[in-house]
Structure 1
Amino acid sequence: MSGTHQGSRDQANPLRQLGLDQLRRRTSVKWREYPDDVLPLWVAEMDVPLAEPVARAITDAVALGDTGYTAGTAYPEALAEFARRRWGWDGLAVERTALVPDVMHGVVEALRLLTGPGDAVVVNCPVYPPFYGFVGYAGRRIVEAPLGDDLRIDLGTLEEAFRAARSGGRPAAYLLCNPHNPTGVLHTVDELTAVAALAGRYGLRVVADEIHAPLVSAGARFVPYLSVPGTERGLSLMSASKGWNLAGLRGGLLVAGPAAAGDVARVPFEVSVGTSHLGVIAHTAAFRDGGDWLDALLTGLDDNRRLLAALLAEHLPTVRYRPGQATYLAWLDCRGLGLGDDPAAVFLDRGRVALNSGLDFGTGGAGHVRLNLATSPELLTEAVRRMATAVT
């Protein structure tokens, strides 16, 4: 049922509700990292108001003084119901979940459960830059398996990486980004089934970062990694953070396949207790009651993908853009502009537009930028106009 956007007709587009003056009053990193003459289309924050059900849940909690430690299973129950409704997946068992402070700290904990210091973690580059930093923080080492020219998982390259990661017989893990950040690619059932079979053959444990799972375009389908055959020993990290713009209200869930229940049971109390109670309240409300707001957002993101493609075709025709089926991120190949390995620096210096440098995404990122299109059509239009002036 994902991608149906079934409530969007009843809700205003959240991306059209805040003006630049309102956004510049925000104190989060997106709006404070750069001077006021820079348009920030970089970090994964959305230019939207808070979904009303989420705002109400937080306000009610504050009015009650309900700001202590988190308890109960409302969060995984809400996510399990969301998974049934949106993805047709009924395999998310509440008893096989654990609270984690957020998705990336949950990834670190999963890697600590499955591997030892110095062990290898395979990633598909170009990929979300914190994969590199957090894997290093966990005391593990990265083995890259670059995506194919079509920006999809290359199974031959992945097998080579698995073989290298397991050389010497040490444990190893595969950190899967599903949907993929920065490309917005949705992995198919066949692709994920092949990944699971390959991981089983080489004895790697799979940890799937599925934080962008709610953000799927119309007509597309998100496939949870743990829903495909052969993933019984897999782990997944999920959250409402990206779908409802809740990065400042931290709370994630570590979800286990049937044969990985023992791993989740070993998550230390000291980890789960670090989860924000208000964060859990917010994420629960988002999954339980935020569907109509999400549908309206997804429609707005679809509109922005089409708008960005049209703007680039008009103003920067040598920039290659393959609109993704998920996330609110656009991966732009700017090598045709002749701006060198770091075009983001040029767009910032000459155009006063802040984008993410492709260099931070690992092998394959040179000459690329990541653009956050979760903003108003007006700001997106102005950003591309500025980018065009930077290269003329």
Structure 2
Amino acid sequence: MSGVLSGARDSANPLRQLTIGQLRQRTSLKWREYPDDVLPLWVAEMDVPLAEPVARAITDAVARGDTGYTTGTAYPQALAEFAHRRWGWDGLAVERTTLVPDVMHGVVEALRLVTDVGDAVVVNCPVYPPFYDFVTHAGRRIVEAPLGEDLRIDLGALEDAFRQARAGGRPAAYLLCNPHNPTGVLHTAAELAAVAGLADQHGVRVVADEIHAPVVIGGAQFVPYLSVPGAENGLSLMSASKGWNLAGLRGALLIAGPAAAGDLARVPFEASVSTSHLGVIAHTAAFRDGGEWLDAVLTGLDDNRRLLAALLAEHLPVVRYQPGQATYLAWLDCRALGLGDDPASVFLDRGRVALNPGTPFGAGGGGHVRLNLATAPELITEAVRRMAAAVA
């Protein structure tokens, strides 16, 4: 694979600034899980250098020896200002936030606030696999509400799931993925308001995982769940992790709607004290000063979406792909290839391309793969070439 990225560097596009050799030096999961002959387009890490404002904030903190326990409200203040600039939302109240180690641990804390062990949590499948893992580990049970054929929330299926979850009068929650992972669907204000109405009608509490909120293509608009009518008792998790590639610098915020402030007060102390101080510094800098860098990444991702669609049309025309408006993930329907429930294993074994298999995403995931678009276009081109050769 040497030479795949030769001559590909582009100072204006963070996705084209690193060579394959530089990426191979990384010690994180994406680049160390598979042998060097495998192209890793799977786990949600981006192949980008760190945004300069974030790198500067971290190195300045290290130079000061500022590596103790975190405190203060700089992080939620930075996120509130970002929400105003990007989403036109002024409803993020700093006093209704608390630090949590990361989004999924924050999800668990939120579910513990609104449900008990054995209660049901509704999810829209296919959906991010850790939803299943973390919810089950927390002693709750999953009720699936499958997405529609258009990959959007099916309100009828959601209402049926709410009824099932609330059977016997037990508490229930709805773990909303906004934007949706793996499809990249950006929920509209009308859809989210309908969700809030159904949740209120059936007595279901909504917990929204909004980690991909910053990763939205130009011209599209992210709608925070807590901004829609009827969502006042909702809870949301937000972070700079996906937008600025900060998974290794942990820190997220649990945000409460006006009617959920009392719930937030019950978050245990150990949840917030476990947050990384350097992580909070990094996330704060990203939301406060990382907008220009983020815009460059979003432009590159939009180009990659179009590139992938064109490559699939040319080399794998039976693979169905609906480009999303958000995230840097592509959900590929490979069922027409006749590779069974796990085409990812074929692409890995025969093509040396690592993708996420669809089955862990729940009902509807069989025969699908998830591809990570946050890499150089040359790698996407090579990956599709290998995938096509694997099924030739």
**TM-score normalised according to structure 1 size:** 0.97
In structure 2, what is the equivalent of residue 3 of structure 1? Answer: none
In structure 2, what is the equivalent of residue 177 of structure 1? Answer: 177
In structure 2, what is the equivalent of residue 272 of structure 1? Answer: 272
Is 1:370 equivalent to 2:365 in the alignment? no
Is 1:295 equivalent to 2:295 in the alignment? yes
In structure 1, what is the equivalent of residue 322 of structure 2? Answer: 322
In structure 1, what is the equivalent of residue 160 of structure 2? Answer: 160
Matches within 5 A, 1:234-249: 234-249=234-249
Contact 1:11 1:296 in 2 (8 A): no
- The letter of the residue matching 1:54 is V
Contact 1:145 1:157 in 2 (8 A): yes
**Deviations, residues 86-116 of structure 1 (Å, cap 9, x unaligned):** 0000000000000000000000000011100
CA drift of 1:321 comes to: 0.2
**Alpha-carbon distance between aligned partners in 1 of 2:304 and 2:360, rounded to the nearest angstrom:** 25
In structure 1, what is the equivalent of residue 391 of structure 2? Answer: 391
Contact 1:321 1:330 in 2 (8 A): yes
**Alpha-carbon distance between aligned partners in 2 of 1:214 and 1:270, rounded to the nearest angstrom:** 28
Is 1:150 equivalent to 2:150 in the alignment? yes
Contact 1:11 1:293 in 2 (8 A): no
- How many matched pairs? 383
Contact 2:330 2:373 in 1 (8 A): yes
Structure 1 spans left out of the alignment, 5+ residues: 1-9
In structure 1, what is the equivalent of residue 259 of structure 2? Answer: 259
Contact 2:180 2:186 in 1 (8 A): yes
Structure 2 spans left out of the alignment, 5+ residues: 1-9
In structure 2, what is the equivalent of residue 141 of structure 1? Answer: 141
Is 1:101 equivalent to 2:88 in the alignment? no
- What secondary structure does 1:285 align onto? helix
- The letter of the residue matching 2:194 is A
- What secondary structure does 2:255 align onto? strand
- What secondary structure does 1:371 align onto? strand
Contact 1:41 1:372 in 2 (8 A): yes
**Alpha-carbon distance between aligned partners in 1 of 2:167 and 2:338, rounded to the nearest angstrom:** 40
In structure 2, what is the equivalent of residue 6 of structure 1? Answer: none
- The letter of the residue matching 1:343 is P
**Alpha-carbon distance between aligned partners in 1 of 2:80 and 2:49, rounded to the nearest angstrom:** 26
- The letter of the residue matching 1:152 is R
**Deviations, residues 217-264 of structure 1 (Å, cap 9, x unaligned):** 111010000000000000000000000000000000000000000111
CA drift of 1:356 comes to: 0.2
- What secondary structure does 2:36 align onto? coil
In structure 2, what is the equivalent of residue 32 of structure 1? Answer: 32
- The letter of the residue matching 1:39 is L
- The letter of the residue matching 1:44 is A
When the two chains are superposed, the root-mean-square deviation of aligned CA atoms in Å is 0.8
In structure 2, what is the equivalent of residue 53 of structure 1? Answer: 53
- The letter of the residue matching 1:28 is S
**Alpha-carbon distance between aligned partners in 2 of 1:138 and 1:81, rounded to the nearest angstrom:** 33
- What secondary structure does 1:193 align onto? helix
In structure 2, what is the equivalent of residue 192 of structure 1? Answer: 192
CA drift of 1:12 comes to: 1.2
CA drift of 1:184 comes to: 0.2
**Alpha-carbon distance between aligned partners in 1 of 2:36 and 2:352, rounded to the nearest angstrom:** 10
- The letter of the residue matching 1:16 is R
**Deviations, residues 43-96 of structure 1 (Å, cap 9, x unaligned):** 000000000000000000000000000010000000000000000000000000
In structure 2, what is the equivalent of residue 306 of structure 1? Answer: 306
Consecutive aligned runs of 4 or more in structure 1 exceeding 6 Å deviation? none
In structure 1, what is the equivalent of residue 89 of structure 2? Answer: 89
**Alpha-carbon distance between aligned partners in 1 of 2:348 and 2:274, rounded to the nearest angstrom:** 37
Contact 1:84 1:90 in 2 (8 A): yes
CA drift of 1:265 comes to: 1.1
Contact 1:319 1:332 in 2 (8 A): yes
Matches within 5 A, 1:108-123: 108-123=108-123
**Alpha-carbon distance between aligned partners in 1 of 2:300 and 2:140, rounded to the nearest angstrom:** 39
Contact 1:212 1:243 in 2 (8 A): yes
- What secondary structure does 2:208 align onto? strand
- What secondary structure does 2:366 align onto? coil
- The letter of the residue matching 1:354 is A
Contact 2:11 2:17 in 1 (8 A): no
Matches within 5 A, 1:183-222: 183-222=183-222
Is 1:225 equivalent to 2:225 in the alignment? yes
**TM-score normalised according to structure 2 size:** 0.97
CA drift of 1:11 comes to: 6.8
- What secondary structure does 1:57 align onto? helix
CA drift of 1:137 comes to: 1.2
Contact 2:311 2:381 in 1 (8 A): yes
**Alpha-carbon distance between aligned partners in 2 of 1:272 and 1:263, rounded to the nearest angstrom:** 15
- The letter of the residue matching 2:134 is F
In structure 2, what is the equivalent of residue 4 of structure 1? Answer: none
